[in-house]
Amino acid sequence: MTTQSAPRLKGKRNRLDKPELLAPAGNLEKLKFAVHYGADAVYIGGQKYGLRSNADNFSFEEMKEGVEFAARYGAKVFVATNIYAHNEDIDGLETYLQELERAGIAAIIAADPIIIETAQRVAPKLEVHLSTQQSTLNWQAVKFWKDEGLPRVVLAREASLEEIAEIKAHVDIEIEAFIHGAMCSSFSGRCVLSNHFTDRDSNRGGCCQSCRWKYDIYEDDLQMVGMDADQFTMGSKDLCMLEHIPDLIEVGVDSFKIEGRMKSLHYVATVVNAYRQAIDSYMADPEHYELKQVWLDDIRKAANRPLNTGFFYDTPGAEDHIYQPEDKAAPYDFAGVVLSYDEAAGTAVIQQRNHFKPGQEIEFFGPHGTFFKQTVGDLADTDGNALDAARHPLQHIVMRVNAPVKPMDMMRKRIR
């Protein structure tokens, strides 16, 4: 991971006294875990107008349930409506936005002016946040959108800390920035490779991740270069700003956005938990803040690509891209979710999410201090029948645990 440092960049903090931690939620379960593990807000996709058409997008009924769950934690739900619309996409837009408003959604994230204008006109209780798809990088563009009535701008991933400081100095508006997750090889996600290769429109929700494919290299005369060489990809390393929380807060970023609506439940919970602890620790005592190694270790347990700091400190170079096939093997794999704990017996009921068996090293973690390692001992089903392994998806497993656990704590197994 890149570990650059920079002089403290003092932006003009406006609107939010404490930065919001904004997490992705590809489905209702992920929404609940993201909020439970510390997200102040989550962003989701509905069944139209979003850029993740392959995600488990939300029905209006699921949105209502998600909003009600989030409200119990004081959290908000945003909906991505960030496609660039074609003529045929406009039919039904007004009704869709009004349904979002009725479901209790706090804001939409939009890029297309017609979606922005329509929301302001027909669903005035919905805040409109400008999507990163608008590639906003300068304070005058930010001011333009503020004058159009938008309370928040999601900056392009290409924005540096210095540029953010200048924006905050000139415009009294909330600034949201991606601080963790996948980066795009194209400018702010405006890619047409997917369209060209597969006829799937990246800017209408169909990106096929073609930058992550394996390619062969050819010279002009169509002779392959290095017949015995490995194939290569052209994807970028993932963004991680966990080591630079003070810089992000002091420059004035209002909302820390984690990428990953297509990511796993384990990934969402792990990343949110690490950033939640870091943000809270800094805000509690900025003068004595200290980055903890355990937070970085947790990130690496969920990361599936090498990490860097994106454009925040400098322009990424060749070393910030992935040219060889990716080694995606994190050292731990998601194994189960705690359903209940019997203090008297010292046992927990675990909902199986991946195969595990006696003798394996496992680790429990949760948002309220749960963290310990142990070796899996005897296993049984809920009828008391002994098991030689937890083989079946979502099976309820009874096992002894070495310390107290809580519902929604997670269990992961060491795989290397």
Per-residue pLDDT 10s for the chain (416 aa) are 544 544 444 444 445 678 999 999 999 999 999 999 999 999 999 988 776 555 568 999 999 999 999 999 999 999 999 888 889 989 999 999 999 999 999 999 999 999 999 999 999 999 999 999 899 999 999 999 999 999 999 999 999 999 999 999 999 999 999 999 988 777 766 777 777 787 776 665 567 777 777 777 776 766 565 545 566 677 788 899 999 999 999 999 999 999 988 889 999 999 999 999 999 999 999 999 999 999 999 999 987 788 899 999 998 887 887 776 555 557 889 999 999 999 999 999 999 999 999 999 999 999 988 999 999 999 999 999 999 999 999 999 999 999 999 999 999 998 87
**Domain shared by 128 and 247, yes or no:** yes
**Domain shared by 298 and 365, yes or no:** no
Q: Is residue 166 part of a domain?
A: yes
Closest among 295, 398, 412, 300 to 364, alpha carbons compared? 412
The neighbour count for residue 112, using CB atoms within 10 Å, is 22
Q: What is the CATH number of the domain that holds 410?
A: 2.40.30.10
Residue numbers of the domain that contains 346: 332-414
**Domain shared by 34 and 131, yes or no:** yes
Q: Is residue 2 part of a domain?
A: no
Q: Is residue 377 part of a domain?
A: yes
Final residue belonging to a domain, choices 322, 353, 376:
322
**Domain shared by 109 and 253, yes or no:** yes
Q: Is residue 220 part of a domain?
A: no
pTM recorded for the entire structure = 0.89
Q: What is the CATH number of the domain that holds 262?
A: 3.20.20.70
Q: How far apart are CA 332 and CA 319, in angstroms?
A: 26
**Domain shared by 87 and 34, yes or no:** yes
Which positions ≥6 away from 366 have C-beta within 8 Å?
37, 273, 338, 405, 406, 408, 409, 410
What's the DSSP call for residue 237? Answer: P
Closest among 1, 61, 51 to 26, alpha carbons compared? 51
**Domain shared by 34 and 175, yes or no:** yes
Q: How far apart are CA 317 and CA 401, in angstroms?
A: 47
Number of domains the chain contains: 2
**Domain shared by 301 and 339, yes or no:** no
**Domain shared by 74 and 175, yes or no:** yes
